[in-house]
Amino acid sequence: MSAALKVALIGNPNTGKSSIFNALTGLRQKVGNYPGITVEKKTGYCKLSDELEAKIIDLPGAYSLNTTSLDESVAVELLLNKRDEDFPDVVVVIAEVENLKRNLLLFTQIKDLGIKTVLVINMADRMGRLGISLDIQALERELDTKIALISTRKNEGIDTLKSLLAAHTQLSESEVLDINRIDANYFEGLKKTFPKISLYKLWLAITQDVNFMPIERQSIADQSSFSTKSKDELKKMQHRETVLRYQFINSALKKAYQKDFTKAEGVQGFLDRLFTHKIWGYLIFFVILFSIFQVIFDFSSYPMDAIDGFFGWLSEWVKGTMPAGILTDLIAEGIIAGIGGVVIFIPQIAFLFLFIALLEESGYMSRVVFLMDRLMRPFGLSGKSVIPLMSGMACAIPAVMATRIIENWKERLITILVVPFTTCSARLPVYLIIIALVIPEGRIFGLGYQALVLTGLYFLGFISALLAAAILSANLKLNRKNFFMVEMPTFKTPQLKNVGFTVFEKTKSFVFGAGQIILALSIVIWFLGSNGYSDDFKNAKEILMAQIESTSEPVSELEIEHKISSYKLEHSYIGQLGKFIEPAVQPLGYDWKIGIALITSFAAREVFVGTLATIYSVEDSEESTIVGRMALERDAVGRPIFNLATGVSILIFYAFAMQCMSTLAIVRKETNSWKWPMIQLGFMTVLAYTASLITYQLLV
């Protein structure tokens, strides 16, 4: 088989680029970052024929090659740099049928780079309903390209696209716009100075902040014939280019494209007005959010109980089957317990990502972003800050990266600093297990107490982010205001295939990302909990038996074993560490075991549950499930450790505390300084401790 054909996918946001990428590559894809920068890089492979395979590169979304963000710069640099290992043999420009005119601006720019280009017109299944008709052959002639009409929803057109890619040698490389029409004298001088380089590439080198050619920008600026152009003049020339391109696009579409708005605008307009209404919009969003959390509690409890019971049984089976010894204890009490503390939350995490994917696929999430812009402005945040804050519900790390779309540095900095207040999916396991322990399952007006508390925690995080932003805005003297623009895709029925890919990838990322940390920490915690240096640890059995014999109360064999295990754990390495920090966490209602879990969870929030699962496995108990062991925990006077006051204190602590060390690392990278992450860590830790202290003292 010959070397893989390199195919780059690019298009405006919300044109269905991800759907086509998934349709081409299936599960043969991987996600990483471009070298040296925090921009997501997705690649996959697709078999075009028996002899030809394609490497599919999913470029970041872009409206044009006139870059305004880091994402767009990455796409432009790759398309212009033939030395890059991923420089494409073919570019597939994704457009969607309803907004074809706007999407074609990017197509004409890429076509003028002299790269073989295929145009995909997506969402073809909507044409009849929207009154759109297309003459594909006429449009191919006008644009001098090959076109694939695709409906990923109906799985139509993908084979056509593969055929066009397989026959890529027949694709035209001619330009569609004579760039000299912008300014004939200017480009004539440019051509004389650099006769071997494409004029359009040179034009992009002058006007865009990209690095893709051996010719440095300064060497171009030093030419006297070009240095006379000021930034304002260059900007006017860019506007002239855009006008000329749209004149070309209008001429092409006039011959091949017709659209009747009368059929869809009524329903679309009504839904837009409803979902972005200043009263009904917020109410609908609250109802949707609450419904999601109610479903998470109501429907995920069954698989959770099954998973919890399975890992409890597996641990006991290992102990009963394998010979007694260190290896058996490590597997049963360390590895199995630690993994079980993560896997048990797969149902809730999967449900959360499922609903987020449904909202994004349907087009509703864009309305939420637009709606929340009204709420953000008074707090000094950019309207574009909504996107990172909403992304923070999944994970703070990509949310911090998403702030790159904010042009103003101070607005971006404020957004970076407040993003960790939003409740990420890693906090969800902590919230769910504590809520299940301390909040009753009753309902009021049909609304579950547990779902109400979880919804309240999400809103608490969001409100805290806004208040923190207002404080930062006042202190950073932020005065500049930016216009807010967000893509408003048409409403559509979510594609189950895309939703499935999203849920699978996000859940897998969560499980394996957290699992690696938790597995390592579980082994460390098991070792520290199973060993000790003091005489109390080494002679635990003799000491306990002497205490039992001194009392006249009957004690069963099971109770004796449990007391010995608890005594050894308390005097183990981890017990000594826990006792050392216990005075600091005791005012919050925590014992030394919770204190240990609090510290280890800085690696990743979900490690809190895994740590307790490992500790309680080392401390032998008649209860095999994680939740059951936590419910049985008692203090010195026999009261439940996880009572209402302690439980709510833990919830408040995690609502305000800095999320994890990975978030600190990405903040350091994005701000290029340790100053801001350290301020962030210090402020949020003090706030979390103080709020938890007040909460516990009020409820105890």
Mean pLDDT of 350-354: 77
Query: pLDDT tens, 63-87?
Result: 888 876 666 777 888 888 888 888 9
Confidence of residue 521 (pLDDT cuts 50, 70, 90): low
Q: CA dist 190 to 99, 179, 235, 500, 571, Å?
A: 35, 11, 17, 51, 79
Query: pLDDT tens, 104-128?
Result: 999 999 999 889 999 999 888 877 7
The class of domain 5-170 in CATH terms is alpha beta
User: In 531-643, where does DSSP find H-type helix?
Assistant: 535-538, 540-549, 557-570, 573-585, 592-600, 607-618, 626-632
Q: What is the mean pLDDT of the chain?
A: 78
CA distance 9 to 21: 8
Q: What is the pLDDT of residue 9?
A: 92
Of 58-62, 207-211, 391-395, 637-641, give the lowest mean pLDDT range: 207-211
Higher pLDDT, 569 or 100: 100
Of 214-228, 457-471, 562-576, give the lowest mean pLDDT range: 214-228
Select from 27, 281, 253, 300 the least CA-distant residue to 134.
253
Structure token pair of residue 164:
């066009």
Mean pLDDT of 650-662: 85
Q: Is the pLDDT of residue 216 over 50?
A: no
Produce one character per residue of 454-484: b if its CB has 16 or more CB atoms within 10 Å, e if not: bbebbebbbebbbebbbebbeeeebeeeeeb
Percentage of the residues of the chain whose pLDDT score is greater than 90: 11
Structure token pair of residue 43:
């690649």
pTM > 0.75: yes or no: no
Rounded to 10°, the helix 336-343/607-618 angle is: 140
Domain residue limits, the chain: 5-170, 179-259
Q: Is the pLDDT of residue 396 over 50?
A: yes
Confidence of residue 182 (pLDDT cuts 50, 70, 90): confident
CA distance 622 to 562: 8
Of 175-179, 188-192, 614-618, give the lowest mean pLDDT range: 614-618
Q: What is the pLDDT of residue 289?
A: 74
DSSP percent split of the chain into helix, strand, coil, nearest 5: 65, 10, 25
- H helix or E strand, kind and range, residue 259: strand 257-259
Most confidently modeled of 259-268, 319-328, 553-562? 319-328
Q: What is the pLDDT of residue 265?
A: 46
